[in-house]
Amino acid sequence: MKLFLFNIFFPKKLRTLSDEELMLAYKNSENLNYLAELFQRKTPMLASLSLKYLKNKEDAEDATFELFEVIKRDLLKHDVANINAWLFSVTRNHCYKKLNKAKRNPHSLVEDENILNSFMENQIDDDLSDTLIKEGQLQTLEKAITLLKDDQRVCIELFYLKQISYQNIAETTGIELKKVKSHIQNGKRNLKIIMEEQFSSNE
């Protein structure tokens, strides 16, 4: 597989920096050492996502290789709050372009990627999101939502998937504002538990 291995020549201190520190250092300096270290860390996630979309190992390897240049360019243009969510979106869009160019239909991809993306953008749990992507269990999240208690499920869907504010959820559902916030927090915690149980049962 064509991977960037530049970081074997980097000072060891680069490897002690967090993802966010590497991202900011690259944006501030445009020094490719920082970007290459970050890219190296994220390559397994990018490769797994590319394969999920493209369904072909060679195409996925090419897409992963190409993403370095896309990230190199676009990271300088955008303010990124959640690097994993942003990389997820960049990878998805790049794969869509490749699918369109090959005249394959990207709309056959199930909606669970969009659900996961929404949760990642709201930082439900970066570690859990990484696990979902790496394990190819994107549908697990959608199924887990259906297992929540009714009030939690409704509040989670409205807040994360439809981007409705706490106040509007309270007005729409008749649930007290404090309880809306509680249902969302408890719902997120329960989603993590449900999904971890799903992973354990599949091992």
Transcribe 13-75 into DSSP letters.
GGGGS-HHHHHHHHHHH--HHHHHHHHHHHHHHHHHHHHHHH--HHHHHHHHHHHHHHHHHHT
Between 22 and 123, residue with greater pLDDT: 22
Q: Which fold has domain 1-109?
A: Rna Polymerase Sigma Factor; Chain: A (1.10.1740)
Task: Report residue 163's pLDDT band, with 50, 70 and 90 as the boundaries.
Answer: low
Label residue 139 by pLDDT band (50, 70, 90).
low
Same fold, 1-109 and 128-203: no
Dump pLDDT digits (tens) for 65-102.
Answer: 999 999 999 999 888 877 887 888 888 889 888 887 77
The pLDDT tens digits of the residues spanning 13-65 come to 788 889 999 999 999 999 999 999 999 999 998 998 888 888 889 999 999 99
Structure tokens at 111: 């909606």
Share above pLDDT 70 across residues of the chain, in percent, rounded to a whole number: 69
**How high is the pLDDT of residue 159?**
76
Can you tell me the distance from the alpha carbon of 43 to that of 87, in angstroms, rounded to the nearest whole number? 10
CA angle 17, 20, 24 (to 5 degrees): 95
Q: Whole-angstrom distance between the N-terminal and C-terminal Cα of the chain?
A: 28
Residue 104 has pLDDT above 80, yes or no: no
The structural domains of the chain, with segments of one domain joined by +, span: 1-109, 128-203
What whole-number percentage of the chain has pLDDT above 90? 24
Q: What is the largest CA-CA distance in the chain?
A: 59
The count of other CB atoms within 10 Å of the CB of residue 87 is 23
Please tell me the class of the 128-203 domain.
mainly alpha
Identity of the amino acid at 101: K
Q: Per-residue pLDDT for 160 more than 60?
A: yes
Using only C-alpha atoms, the chain has a radius of gyration, in whole angstroms, of 19
On whether the CB atoms of residues 25 and 31 are closer than 8 A, the answer is yes
Band the pLDDT of 140: cuts 50, 70, 90.
low
pTM value surpassing 0.75: no
Read off the pLDDT band of 179 (50, 70, 90). very high
In this predicted structure, what is the pLDDT of residue 64? 94
